[in-house]
Chain A
């Protein structure tokens, strides 16, 4: 589903190179975890996949279901089924969460040539998804992410993910800012979305998230390259020994 080949990317403004030849293939039905120390390029990878224009691609390619994703605008990627759960979700003042959900869902449906949702159909879907994530009606009426707690923000991200039904989910440090209970709710929400048709890339610093969302494959990203790939035990190993070994390898 997702093929990243020799991807090099730098910050457009100051030309600092962040990604230095990333290779990664994620098939439908798989969950891949990407771990790595601070500054290794994890978040950059997620932004580059979503099409943020702060970055320049200098080399390599990204194929999404065989199509060149780097040629697509961010909204086209979204409509094609690429979803990024943000590490720091953005506040949209004055726009009720419910309204945002509807606008986003219908925008994607229109881009794919589908009919817009009827209000009852939309409400049914929102209510079902919200109840799984402990999202109250009251929260849905508040402006998106404005004054939300860390846990509420992440739950709102997963709520969007479940309603937009993406093919590829990239979760950028979804565990940051969550207490243990919230972590469980969010992880359960993510696990519900695991399916043979869907691929997931879970970016995290810590093993603990992977206790809840058990990955098929674990990668270590260091200095802009994947330096080690293994199964879920690799994460446990990292938890014990830290990243030092891999930082040296990359250097």
Chain B
């Protein structure tokens, strides 16, 4: 596989510091006042020219947030976050609503180019014809900078824009669906997000439409002491299909940065949503200093009959990850899937997994989780599979595999299974393994270096999940995993 070779070369090129996206973009930005208050929320809402109903929705969430306590059940530890020491609004100064790529600050475009994101539609016009076209929504700190291929998508009836734009342009859709999967009271971080969410993507696929290209969002935190609170809402009408990918990076900073996102998916009758994430936030340095706190609520609602939602995630970044992409299987015959690769190295802490909530008849779900721990990291899979009284013939298959590299890391599996219907069938399989000395020796005997051997064995371990990713991201994900594990042997 070329990816393995490329990985090794990339790893070598990266030198001691493994995180290649750690640069800071020098761009003039505008920030709101520090601290979390009604004033902050009103300022933010006004900045975005939001209608009154949106401002009220936010204020309602803020009031509830102020009465909530931070949850402590996850297997992660970190100093308490001072929400009054954060900025809730940061935007590159020059980009108040660009109409096209020409109006975007070249500095920003350069940043995205550095990240390897194909923003420029011009390339295609200039005759560079990529195999698969991907429409991108790029979010820089608090605002969406640019969304590509808008016109072409519009022809198919697909709406793909920033959530801020959707609030202004498609208020009926937003009102109907926002908070309908993750209510504002859902949990601490989701409530915080509801009060101060800055930007994110909005996708609407009309009835019977198969979205003509992959949709993708890239999130980038640049500013210091800034929280990123993005909100994504995807609605797939009857019989429609969409595949969506998000990628995330942040500069290398000594302070911890907060990222608390909410993603809501709604699939109606016979609709399918495939949501893939390649998360590579800055994980902190080798001593555990800095890095992103990633507290994310992702949930999909299979609201219609025969609907399907599939989550695929590759998690390599963040100092702390707290994330459980879930499916509510409400419609009859609906199906939920969760494929996950969670790689932790250094001092990273991951507590991630999924919830499959079977409400409707004949619903099925599948969970494949691959955790890889190295260095001094802790990696926990936490999952809930539940069948409610009416969920007759619910089916689930769960497989959790953990791979340990080295002596000082931990892997934990915490599955919860609740069944209130006698006809439900749930299967759970779990394994924990180490890269054995024998495997390493065998590979070395065939001429592989230690790094090549680890990359090969790990890529074999995660293969089931990599296959679920869209082709072009599968290669990227493999590289990323190997880079994350650089220096984990020897």
* A and B physically associate: yes
A residues sitting closer than 8 Å to B (CB atoms) are 50-54, 73-75, 77-79, 83-84, 86, 89-95, 99-100, 102-108, 111, 116, 143, 160, 164
Smallest CB gap from B450: residue in A: A75
- Scan residues 431-474 of chain B and give those whose CB is less than 8 A from a CB of chain A: 436-439, 441-450, 452, 456-457, 459-464
Q: Which of A91, A94, A116, A160 contacts B459 (CB 8 A)?
A: A94
The 8 Å CB contact of A107, one of B437, B439, B441, B447, is B447
- List A contacts of B464 (CB < 8 A): 94
CB distance from B452 to the nearest CB of A (A): 6
How many A-B residue pairs lie within 8 Å, measured between CB atoms? 83
The answer to whether A94 touches B5, judged by C-beta atoms less than 8 angstroms apart, is: no
The interface residues of chain A lying within 8 Å CB-to-CB of B463 are 94-95
Subset of 30 A-B contacts with CB under 8 Å: A51-B445, A54-B437, A74-B444, A75-B447, A75-B450, A78-B445, A78-B447, A79-B447, A86-B442, A86-B445, A90-B436, A90-B438, A91-B439, A92-B442, A92-B443, A92-B456, A93-B461, A94-B459, A94-B460, A94-B464, A99-B1, A103-B4, A103-B5, A103-B452, A104-B446, A107-B452, A108-B446, A116-B5, A143-B460, A164-B446
Which A residues lie within 8 Å of B450 (CB)?
A: 75
Q: Which residue of chain B has the shortest Cβ distance to A146 in the bound complex?
A: B460
Which residue of A53, A74, A78, A91 has the most chain B CB atoms within 10 A of its CB atom?
A74
Which B residues are in CB contact (< 8 Å) with A143?
Answer: 460
Residues on the B chain within 8 Å of A102, using CB: 1
Q: In the complex, A86→B439 CA distance in Å?
A: 12
Contact check, A103 vs B448: say whether CB atoms are below 8 A apart.
yes
B445 interface neighbour in A84, A92, A105, Cβ under 8 Å: A84
In the complex, which of the residues B1, B446, B462 has the most CB atoms of chain A within 10 Å of its own CB atom?
B446
A74 CA to B4 CA, complexed, in Å: 20
Which residues of chain B have C-beta atoms less than 8 A from A164's C-beta?
446-447
B446 touches A78 (CB 8 A): yes
Interchain nearest-CB distance for A93 vs B (Å) = 6
Chain B residues within 8 Å of chain A by Cβ, number: 26
Q: How far is the CB of B221 from chain A (nearest CB, A)?
A: 34
Closest B residue to A52 by beta carbon equals B441
Partner of B457, one of A92, A106, A111: A92
Q: Which residues of B contact A90 (CB under 8 A)?
A: 436, 438-439, 441-442
B456 & A103 in contact (Cβ 8 Å cutoff): yes
Q: Is the CB of B445 within 8 A of A111?
A: no
Inter-chain CA distance A224–B481, complex, in Å, is 44
A106 to chain B, nearest CB (A): 7
Report the Cα distance A72→B124, complex, angstroms.
51
Looking at the complex, which one of A53, A95, A108, A116 makes contact with B456 (CB distance below 8 Å)? A95
- In angstroms, Cα B441 to Cα A89, docked, is 11
Q: Are A95 and B446 in contact (CB under 8 A)?
A: no
Give Cα A56 to B481, complex, Å.
34
Closest 7 CB pairs of A and B: A94-B460, A95-B460, A108-B447, A78-B447, A74-B444, A104-B446, A90-B442
Known: A92-B439, A99-B1. A104 touches B448 (CB 8 A): yes
Residues of A within 8 A of B448 (CB): 75, 103-104, 107
How far, in angstroms, from A102 to B436 measured CA to CA in the complex?
22
Chain B residues closer than 8 Å to A107, beta-carbon distance: 446-449, 452
Bound together, the chains give a CA A160 to CA B439 distance in angstroms of 16
Q: Which residues of B contact A92 (CB under 8 A)?
A: 439, 442-443, 456-457, 460
A79 to B444 Cα, complex, angstroms: 10
Q: How far is the CA of A86 from the CA of B443 in the complex (A)?
A: 12
**What's the Cα separation between A106 and B456 when bound, in Å?**
13
Shortest Cβ distance from A75 into B: residue: B444
**With A100-B456, A103-B452 in contact, do A94 and B445 touch (Cβ < 8 Å)?**
no
8 Å CB contact of A74 from B439, B441, B460: B441
CA distance A78 to B453 in the complex (A): 14
| Min distance, Cβ A114 to any Cβ of chain B, angstroms | 12
A86 to B448 alpha-carbon distance, docked (Å) = 16
Residues of chain A within 8 A of B459, CB atoms compared? 94-95
Q: A51-B444, A94-B462, A103-B4 are in contact. List 16 more A-B contacts (CB 8 A).
A: A73-B444, A74-B441, A75-B447, A79-B447, A89-B442, A92-B460, A94-B460, A95-B459, A95-B463, A99-B456, A104-B448, A106-B5, A107-B446, A107-B448, A108-B447, A143-B460
